């Protein structure tokens, strides 16, 4: 059985402790549905909050060429390549069900051993168990299941500190 989301801690400085210079930027892949204005607004808001924490970000609908019948494979290859290189994936899991593209991105990232943070702010229970907020295959693929953007920020701050060698896992 997978564990509940890890406890989130407090913020701390994000500099290289050896020479007190700004640390390099970790890289975050932002996954989620983007098929209507509301979904795009939400994912762009989430991306801005991630970037404000010092992460370079990849947002598929912003950082790929506009989709046409001729470049579908290019967009797939771009997205897959970025997941290969990212330090963390942040996935919007909101909705009646999680978007199938987001589920694929999260599963692929998990198979690569990437650090995963899922965001599920919907208060409606998908499943009867308190232990399962989203589908168990997705929930158990995550390192953190956040219930607010503030919790995502806290998890990302801790992960950034770890990536920069400021804290232990």
153 within a domain of the structure (yes/no): yes
Phi, psi of 114 (to 5 degrees): -75, 150
CB 156 within 8 A of CB 118: no
122 within a domain of the structure (yes/no): yes
55 within a domain of the structure (yes/no): yes
6 within a domain of the structure (yes/no): no
CA 25 to centroid of chain Cα atoms: 15
Q: Which domain holds residue 117?
A: 28-163
The residues, any chain, with a CB within 8 Å of residue 8's CB and separated by 6 or more, are 144, 146, 151, 154, 155, 158
How many structural domains compose the chain? 1
101 within a domain of the structure (yes/no): yes
13 within a domain of the structure (yes/no): no
Instruction: State the pTM of this model.
Output: 0.82
What pLDDT tens digit does each residue of the chain (169 aa) get? 343 334 333 333 333 344 455 557 999 999 999 889 999 999 999 999 999 999 999 999 999 999 999 999 999 999 999 999 999 999 999 888 889 999 999 999 999 999 999 999 887 666 656 666 787 888 889 999 999 999 999 999 999 999 988 876 6
Query: Which CATH number does the domain housing residue 43 bear?
Result: 3.40.50.450
């Amino acid at each position: 059985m997978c564990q509940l989301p890890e406890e989130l801690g407090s913020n701390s400085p994000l500099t290289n402790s050896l020479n007190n210079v700004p640390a390099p930027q970790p890289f975050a892949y932002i996954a989620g549905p983007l098929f209507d204005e509301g979904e795009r607004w939400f994912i762009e808001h989430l991306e801005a909050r991630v970037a404000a924490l010092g992460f370079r970000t990849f947002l598929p609908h912003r950082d790929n060429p506009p989709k046409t019948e001729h470049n579908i494979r290019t967009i797939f290859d771009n997205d897959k390549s970025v997941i290969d290189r990212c330090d963390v994936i942040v996935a919007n899991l909101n909705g009646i069900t999680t978007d199938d593209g987001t589920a694929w991105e999260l599963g692929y990232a998990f198979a690569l051993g990437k650090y995963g943070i899922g965001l599920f702010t919907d208060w409606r229970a998908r499943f009867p168990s308190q232990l399962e907020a989203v589908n168990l295959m997705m929930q158990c693929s995550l390192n953190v299941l956040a219930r607010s953007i503030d919790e995502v920020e806290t998890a990302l701050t801790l992960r950034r500190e770890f990536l920069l060698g400021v804290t232990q896992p």
